[in-house]
Amino acid sequence: MNEPQPTPRQPLTELIHHPYQPPPGFQAPQPAVHKASTVVFANTAAMRSRDWRSRQGYTYGLHGTPTTFTLEERLCHLEGGLQCLLVPSGLAALANVALALLKTGDEVLMPDNAYGPNKALAEGELARWGITHQWYDPLSVDDLARRLGPRTRLVWLEAPGSVTMEFPDLPALTRVCREHGALVALDNTWGAGLAFNPFDLGEGWGVDISAHALTKYPSGGGDVLMGSVITRDEALHLRLKGCHMRLGLGVGANDVETVLRSLPSIALRYRAHDQAARTLARWLQQRSEVVQVLHPALPGAPGHAHWQALCGHVEGGTGAAAGLFSVLLDPRYSPAQVDAFCDALQLFKLGYSWGGPISLVVPYDLASMRQQPTPHLQPGHLVRFSVGLEAVADLQADLAQALAHALPAL
């Protein structure tokens, strides 16, 4: 009656299939990092019945792991959404929206101050595929309303716009799009889910889609690229998710881990970036080299009243804003002097992107970025600052020495 003993497996096989399971119940501050391309199924029936779209289980690394699901849930909570997709960059989030929703013959509207590469996508691939675009004046609801037509399928919003920082009337822009029946997508990178709620712009409704460059504040390190696409409508989410799957947009578990690790401190960091940026922006307002400071929380800045209405009640009445602002330097300086000012900065490094601990500066050529006139901007040289987490007194001293070094009194 001896049971046949299984043939002992060889060590090489046991290196892969050893039955040891660590005890369950491990708890630690950070969630586990699950890495997979392949996900294994208990049996063929489980494999066949598995629907890759359902979040009740796992099918393949691209379609979700416990690690990506965890970040998605937390980001939904941050932004007030119900469904989330993770993509390899903020730009991929913008592209995912466009490619999922637009077809030949459709039109997309974008503010003239939209994130540059999003405009380039419209002028590049979308135009080649017969999808037309128009740029609207972000400070004019009437201008947007005039441009909405029978082919308008998608309207982008950005608050504030990239580099020139005009804060639009988001509730009013969203309302005209909804009345027209166009889908509304917001690039919510600046607000980050902290400055305002994109899905409730005051009357219980908001945008259809919030795209977020997690590269910025959710990462907070200047070392990760990632994006998210958040919705509150399951059918819209599934449409975006189908495109996401067919394009093979996935994120690496270690990058997700980095964002999960930074996320708990996002509100503290956002507030610190905001306070320092406002201190420096106000100080620069007093400087004779500067003709205009573009920061939506400063009275007089383009769209300030819209910022005040949407974000002004946050943080006990001081309002919330990110750590970004731009200045226009006196047009009598030469471009070479402006470059010399940027080069003379020691703590502010020359670099794109923002949201990390290091302060950054970029000189921009406004004329090449805009298709429409900008009467709300003074003539001058545009320089954008991203304020990091250094001591604000040191940053102010750095600005002062670079101004003194490169920009003589006029």
Ligand X SMILES: *Cc1c(COP(=O)(O)O)cnc(C)c1O
Question: Cβ of residue 120: shortest distance to ligand X, in angstroms?
Answer: 12
Report the residue number whose CB is nearest to ligand X: 90
CA atoms within 13 A on the CB side of 208: 22
- Is 67 a binder of ligand X (CB under 6 A)? no
Peptide bond into 160 cis (omega under 30): yes
Q: Which of 61, 193, 220, 227 binds ligand X (CB under 6 A)?
A: 227
- Is 86 a binder of ligand X (CB under 6 A)? no
- Is 353 a binder of ligand X (CB under 6 A)? yes
With respect to ligand X, which residue has the nearer C-beta, 34 or 269? 269
Nearest to residue 182, comparing CAs of 241, 101, 111? Answer: 101
Q: Which residues contact 72 (CB under 8 A, 6 or more apart)?
A: 64, 83, 84, 85, 86, 228
- Is 279 a binder of ligand X (CB under 6 A)? no
In whole angstroms, give the CA distance from residue 408 to residue 322. Answer: 31
Question: Cβ of residue 355: shortest distance to ligand X, in angstroms?
Answer: 8
Say which residue the tokens 């900065």 belong to. 345
- Is 121 a binder of ligand X (CB under 6 A)? no
Rounded (5°) CA angle 196-188-236: 105
With respect to ligand X, which residue has the nearer C-beta, 189 or 402? 189
Handedness of CA 394, 398, 399, 400 (dihedral sign): positive
With respect to ligand X, which residue has the nearer C-beta, 68 or 189? 189
What are the structure tokens assigned to 14, written together? Answer: 């046991």
Radius of gyration of the chain from its Cα atoms, rounded to whole angstroms: 24
In whole angstroms, give the CA distance from residue 3 to residue 83. Answer: 53
Q: Which of 62, 145, 172, 225 binds ligand X (CB under 6 A)?
A: 225
In whole angstroms, give the CA distance from residue 23 to residue 15. Answer: 19
- Is 187 a binder of ligand X (CB under 6 A)? yes
- Is 115 a binder of ligand X (CB under 6 A)? yes
In whole angstroms, give the CA distance from residue 353 to residue 364. Answer: 13
- Is 369 a binder of ligand X (CB under 6 A)? no
Q: Which of 144, 148, 213, 392 binds ligand X (CB under 6 A)?
A: 213
- Is 166 a binder of ligand X (CB under 6 A)? no
Question: Cβ of residue 162: shortest distance to ligand X, in angstroms?
Answer: 5
Question: Cβ of residue 250: shortest distance to ligand X, in angstroms?
Answer: 15
With respect to ligand X, which residue has the nearer C-beta, 58 or 215? 215
Interface residues with ligand X (CB under 6 A) are 89-91, 115, 162, 187, 189, 213, 215-216, 225, 227, 353
